[in-house]
């Protein structure tokens, strides 16, 4: 929503300000399609040349994140605390045999079934199940620090892949001013080939060439770079839920008391998404 509003404000202020100060929009709007053909085509070619199909698909997903915003809300963070805590409590009270069916087939698990939104996130499910599977097969003899190291590596790998759309957008933003100059230079070359034309025609051709530089800079710093920043914000916001899983599992393996487990889970959640301590404490005591 805010991304769309920002685009409207940006374009309205730039082109509206230009028109209000006496600028003629006609020549600019006439030149934009031709300049964008060069700039956009060059940008698209660079993206294709520098990335695999996997990264290009991730980039498409990145645009979705920009306009949709974070996937996880406050209730989802509360739910993941309850989900992982229920599994850890079962592991502690009923033993590894009781937990095994739930982590081997989460889709058939009565515990996971209570949280259908979380069950759709394969990364989240694998992080929970793969980690608890280590604990189950070791019969609880694993050092919690070793488990934490394994989880840290898994989270680092996931973040490296998840953040790629933001990195790609930032690289594109860095390249767009230069691509705008390419379009402008081609326009100047075209103008020089028509040097015998009247000044009015030459002026229009030079103006069209300058639109290439203008569009490259506007796209880079007004649209693509902010999109890259927003994409990174959304990815990092959603990534916080995986760290909540880690904190609960590690705190529970250390045998910490319930209040400390709760704070370990809440500590990595942004304040606007952070469940109240009382809501978590009351919910966990009833499970």
Q: Which residues contact 227 (CB under 8 A, 6 or more apart)?
A: 3, 63, 66, 169
Give pLDDT, residue 286. Answer: 60
Q: How confident is the model at residue 75 (pLDDT cuts 50, 70, 90)?
A: very high
Question: Is 167 in a helix, a strand, or coil?
Answer: helix
In this structure, what are the phi and psi dihedrals at residue 116, rounded to the nearest 5 degrees? -60, -35
pLDDT tens per residue across span 263-282: 888 888 999 999 888 888 77
Contact yes or no for 179/213 (Cβ under 8 A) = no
For 27: left if phi > 0, alpha if psi spans -120 to 50, otherwise beta; the answer is alpha
Contact yes or no for 217/238 (Cβ under 8 A) = no
Please check the confidence at residue 169 and state whether its pLDDT lies above 70: yes
Cα 102 to Cα 124, 132, 135: the distances in Å are 14, 10, 14
Report the mean per-residue pLDDT for the chain.
90
Q: How far apart are CA 176 and CA 39, in angstroms?
A: 7
∠ CA 251-254-258, nearest 5°, is 50
Q: How confident is the model at residue 95 (pLDDT cuts 50, 70, 90)?
A: confident
pLDDT tens per residue across span 215-266: 999 999 999 999 999 999 999 999 999 999 999 999 999 988 888 888 888 8
Give pLDDT, residue 27. Answer: 84
Percent of the chain with pLDDT over 70: 98
Give pLDDT, residue 268. Answer: 85
Q: How confident is the model at residue 82 (pLDDT cuts 50, 70, 90)?
A: very high
Percent of the chain with pLDDT over 90: 61
Give pLDDT, residue 287. Answer: 60
pLDDT tens per residue across span 6-41: 989 999 999 999 899 888 888 888 889 989 999 999
**Which range in 40-54, 130-144, 254-268 is most confidently predicted, on average pLDDT?**
40-54
- Report the length, in residues, of the chain: 287
- The token pair that represents 120 in the structure block: 């759709």
Please check the confidence at residue 105 and state whether its pLDDT lies above 80: yes
Domain boundaries, the chain: 27-287
Q: How far apart are CA 197 and CA 9, in angstroms?
A: 39
pTM, to two decimals: 0.86
């Amino acid at each position: 929503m805010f991304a769309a509003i920002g685009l409207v404000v940006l374009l309205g202020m730039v082109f509206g300000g230009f028109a209000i100060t006496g600028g003629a929009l006609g020549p600019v709007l006439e030149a934009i399609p031709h300049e964008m053909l060069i700039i956009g085509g060059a940008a698209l070619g660079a993206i294709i040349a520098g990335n695999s199909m996997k990264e290009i698909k991730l980039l498409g997903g990145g645009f979705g994140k920009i306009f949709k915003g974070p996937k996880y809300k406050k209730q989802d963070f509360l739910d993941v605390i309850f989900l992982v805590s229920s599994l850890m409590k079962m592991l502690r009270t009923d033993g590894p045999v009781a937990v095994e069916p739930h982590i081997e087939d989460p889709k058939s698990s009565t515990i996971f079934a209570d949280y259908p939104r979380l069950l759709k996130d394969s990364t989240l499910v694998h992080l929970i199940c793969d980690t608890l599977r280590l604990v189950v097969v070791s019969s609880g003899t694993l050092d919690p620090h070793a488990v934490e190291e394994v989880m840290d590596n898994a989270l680092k790998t996931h973040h490296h892949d998840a953040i790629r759309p933001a990195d790609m957008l930032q690289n594109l933003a860095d390249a767009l001013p230069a691509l705008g100059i390419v379009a402008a230079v081609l326009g100047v070359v075209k103008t020089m080939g028509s040097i015998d034309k009247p000044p009015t025609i030459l002026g229009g051709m030079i103006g069209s060439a300058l639109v290439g530089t203008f569009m490259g800079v506007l796209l880079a710093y007004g649209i693509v770079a902010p999109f890259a920043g927003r994409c990174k914000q959304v990815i990092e916001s959603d990534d916080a839920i995986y760290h909540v899983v880690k904190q609960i599992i590690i705190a529970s393996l250390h045998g910490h008391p319930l209040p400390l487990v709760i704070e370990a889970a809440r500590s990595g959640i942004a304040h606007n998404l952070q469940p109240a301590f009382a809501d978590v404490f009351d919910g966990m005591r009833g499970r």
